[in-house]
Amino acid sequence: NKTGFIFDLDGVIVDTAKYHFLAWKKLADELGIDFTEKDNERFKGVSRKRCLEILLEMGGIKATEEQFSAWLVEKNEDYLAYIDAMDESEILPDVPKVLKYLKNLKIPMALGSASKNARSILEKVNLLSYFDTLVDGNSVTKAKPDPEVFQIAAERLGVKPENCVVFEDALAGIEAANRAGMISIGIGEANVLTAARFNFVDFTEIDSEFLNNLIHR
Ligand code: B16
Ligand code: MG
């Protein structure tokens, strides 16, 4: 009855949301759409394509397929320019501590992210080697809150869904984990992630006793 751990990327391992924001903001400005950091909250955990659909809805803009694809490419190129400069200093507090602890115990670990850029971000911040498998925006057909991303991760890890622990910062991600029958852990504000089984502000609040209790349930 082995336990597996699944980590979301943006908002859990690194704060790439600020770069997504800057890239969306630039496109929004070009299109004359008012776009704030608060609007960006709705984009967390949401696929690139869906984000653009929401942005265009906000501006009441109808796009041809060609325009739509071109804007997706433009946003991603701007985003890639930001993440190109990322390094270990951008890892969120105590994430390496938890990854190292679990790795030493040979616990199976997966990434479960909506991002198509997940692999290159993990390479930039030097955390790729901790993960047995990456399930990202390139491997899924249905976005969170659909449980697909975490179900694929569990399959690849060879761990039963009920024995998987999921760290998530987005409401849609918590819902996806719950729908998969997994143990959901909200990282961020407890009053936002109310559906999570456990809540922590960040990984500095997670100690070995808590992890051991999950592993030896
Ligand atoms: P990309 P996560 C998500 O990452 C972000 O939270 C979301 O804002 C972004 O649109 C999505 O990845 C897709 O990212 O444009 O790089 O494919 O939280 O699921 O790790
Ligand atoms: Mg996230």
| Residue nearest atom 8 in ligand 1 by C-alpha distance | 44
Cβ < 6 A, ligand 1 pocket? 8-11, 20, 43-48, 51, 76, 113-117, 137, 170
The pLDDT of residue 172: 92
- Active site annotation includes 8: yes
- Active site annotation includes 34: no
Q: What is the pLDDT of residues 114-127, one digit of tens each?
A: 999 999 999 999 99
Length of the chain: 217
Q: How far is the CA of 46 from the centre of ligand 1 (A)?
A: 6
Q: How far is the CA of 102 from the centre of ligand 2 (A)?
A: 21
The pLDDT of residue 49: 96
Q: What is the pLDDT of residues 81-104, one digit of tens each?
A: 999 999 999 999 999 999 999 999
Average pLDDT over residues 163-176: 96
Nearest to 102 by CA among 169, 201, 204, 6: 6
| Residue nearest atom 15 in ligand 1 by C-alpha distance | 48
Q: Which of 43, 44, 95 to mutate to test the pocket of ligand 1 (most atoms within 8 A of CB)?
A: 44
The pLDDT of residue 176: 97
The reply to whether 115 sits in an annotated binding site is yes
Residue % of the chain over a pLDDT of 90 = 97
Return the structure tokens found at 38.
């608060």
What's the chain look like in SS3? CCCEEEECCECCCECCHHHHHHHHHHHHHHHCCCCCHHHHHCCCCCCHHHHHHHHHHHHCCCCCHHHHHHHHHHHHHHHHHHHCCCCHHHECCCHHHHHHHHHHCCCCEEEECCCCCHHHHHHHCCCHHHCCEEECCCCCCCCCCCCHHHHHHHHHHCCCHHHEEEEECCHHHHHHHHHCCCEEEEECCCCCCCCCCEEECCHHHCCHHHHHHHHCC
pTM of the full structure: 0.96
Asked whether the predicted pLDDT for residue 192 surpasses 90, the reply is no
The chain-wide mean pLDDT, for the chain, equals 97
Q: Choose the catalytic residue: 8, 15, 39, 87.
A: 8
Average pLDDT over residues 210-215: 98
Q: How far is the CA of 209 from the centre of ligand 1 (A)?
A: 31
Q: What is the pLDDT of residues 39-65, one digit of tens each?
A: 999 999 999 999 999 999 999 999 999
The pLDDT of residue 1: 83
Q: Choose the catalytic residue: 10, 29, 84, 94.
A: 10
76 Cα nearest atom in ligand 1: 15
The pLDDT of residue 191: 87
Ligand of minimum distance to the alpha carbon of 174: 2
Residue % of the chain over a pLDDT of 70 = 100
The reply to whether 10 sits in an annotated binding site is yes
